[in-house]
Amino acid sequence: MRLSRRRFVTLSACALATPAWATTERWRGHAFGAEVSLDLRGPRGLVEADLQAVIAQIRALERRFSLYDPASDLSRLNARGKGTLSPEMREILQLSHRVHAATGGLFDPTIQPLWEALAQGEDVLAAQDLIGLDRVMLEADRVKLGEGQKLSFNGIAQGYATDRIAALLVARGYSEALINMGEFAALGGPFRLGLEDPQAGRLGALHLSAGAMATSSPTAMTVGGETHILHPKGGVPMWSTVTVVAKGAGKAALADAASTAFCLMSRSDIETAKQKLGLSRVYLVDVAGNLSSL
């Protein structure tokens, strides 16, 4: 996967009492092109083994969805235009179709040819003609892209990984953890997270309990002179930063995809999509640095 957008959301505090028989560990690493971390509290002697299981899961998902690895499932699919549909690929594509529909097509993983054209100074208009998630066909165990299409899950894979790690920890008996795979998921809580913008700096904070939070900032990086969150229909971002909160388990991928698309949408359209997708809260930072919420 290419370099991820930088996340302007920071962990401010996590004040949890820890019994003598337990330990709290904070692990930091690198995955999906970004710094990732995990705050994990559990019985002494088990936390280290569980952290190793988490790391193994992260690496397995990178082998599925990395654009940096030519042997990954995603790289091979992009090269061949068709391939076997793994359960993980099916889940991420089905959710992509759902958010694509709710956002009027503004969340679209087929944006990858446009990214490549901008990065390499090639024909942008020709690349835009290749965009369209409706041309990606899912069959029983196969996936087929439209002619010339390529996928990028840069706007959803980190959230998907966050959800998978959260599910792994729940299965191992954890009820208190803060997972940061580029997006946040909280088991238990509350955890206090800061709201920040690339230009305006720190603007506030929120408390996250038993849910997920994702943030996107178009100007966090650029490609070919454009903000890295690319408009599938040729428009420009409308917000400096968007943060989406979704309550419940397994919602980080949804929040991730929504925050990406919402950067390109009007306030009224975001409100409509928020209701369709069942999101809890959306925080918007405009280009003047003003923070508001829906």
Identify any residues that bridge with 35 across adjacent strands, giving them in sequence order.
Answer: 30
pLDDT along the chain (294 residues), means of 10: 34 35 73 80 77 91 91 96 94 97 98 95 95 94 96 95 95 90 92 92 94 94 83 94 96 98 98 98 97 96
Check residue 22 and give its pLDDT. 60
**pLDDT value for 115:** 94
Q: Which residues contact 88 (CB under 8 A, 6 or more apart)?
A: 61, 64, 65, 160
Is the separation of the CB atoms in 159 and 252 below 8 Å? yes
CB of 149 closer than 8 Å to CB of 113: yes
User: What is the pTM (predicted TM-score) of this model?
Assistant: 0.90
Closest residue by Cα to residue 258 from 240, 235, 233, 276: 276
pLDDT of 167 reads 96
Largest CA distance in the chain: 62
